[in-house]
Amino acid sequence: MGNSVRKLTTAFSAAFPEENASAPVKEHSKRSLFWGRNTAGWILPVILTASWELLARVGLIDVSLFSSPSQIGVELSNLASNGELLAHLATTFLRVVSGFAIGVSAATLLGALTGSSGFARRLLDPLLQSLRSIPSMAWVPLFLLWLGIGESSKIALIALGVFFPVYLNLMNGVRRTDRKLVEVGLANGFRGFALVKTIVLPGTLPAYLIGLRQGLSLGWMFVVAAEIMGASRGLGYLLIDGQATGRPAIMISSVILFAICGKLSDGVLATLSERLLYWQDVYRT
């Protein structure tokens, strides 16, 4: 048996040498693509940071108003050494996660309802669309009045920001499910949850995942407004504290940390989206 397998393997290798030769090449190409995709995004930030530092050192930038990267690094190092940086990051992250979870839960429920029911859409969607146009800062005094200055008002404001993009994308995703696919599902005996799982959910998932990424992005934006509402800890508080004490390095550090946290969390959702949508046959550049 072993001799037969070896002979078959040898014969296959002789008949299709290009298949065996291309395997390591394909694996090498995948590794090159992975590293190229994950390192290319660092090129522009590194160039901008180096240029920024150089302009600050030659005096073309007023470092009393626009701190250099080295000054920002020193401030971040000081905050990290006394434990303040980790505390601010953890507080902001917890607020964003809590608001994101609440906003996504409500948006998923209402988005699925209004997307699948014409009556529910006519009843609820006009009100929700009108609320969507209200600026975030207009909600701040109302939430302070209704929920007080504690964590509830901050998390509610973040949840509100997360809600609308998730709701809108999910509702439109459900409404735009291909009618022919639904008819095929019904013809093959799919009803109720089986129809939703087999036809509606895969068709809606791309739009829903885009809504999640947009909602998370707005969650990081709204947390700034939330932490202006009398917070004593968090990146937003650090930003306001830097303004009050005249420390531009602290202010810029807060902005950079917001950008990094937002990019990392969006990267998690982007990776999750790729894994969940592996079945899509789409054009990839």
- Tell me, yes or no, whether 33 lies in a domain: yes
Based on the domain organization, do 19 and 78 belong to the same domain? no
Based on the domain organization, do 108 and 237 belong to the same domain? yes
- Tell me, yes or no, whether 134 lies in a domain: yes
Based on the domain organization, do 116 and 214 belong to the same domain? yes
Based on the domain organization, do 121 and 250 belong to the same domain? yes
> Closest Cα partner for 169 from 217, 223, 224?
217
pLDDT digit string (tens) for the chain, length 285 residues: 444 444 434 543 444 444 444 444 455 555 555 555 667 888 998 999 999 999 999 989 888 888 999 999 999 999 999 999 999 999 999 999 999 999 999 999 999 999 989 999 999 999 999 999 998 888 988 998 999 888 999 999 999 999 999 999 999 999 988 888 777 788 888 777 777 778 888 889 999 999 999 999 999 999 998 888 778 899 999 999 998 888 999 999 999 999 999 999 999 999 999 999 988 877 766
Compute the half-sphere exposure of residue 8: CA atoms within 13 Å on the CB side of its CA.
Answer: 5
Q: Tell how many helices (H) and how many strands (E) occur in the chain.
A: 12, 0
Structural domain total, the chain: 2
pTM score above 0.85: no
CB-based contact 227:265 (threshold 8 Å): no
Domain holding 51, by residue range, is 2-57
Q: How many Å apart are CA 66 and CA 3, to the nearest integer?
A: 74
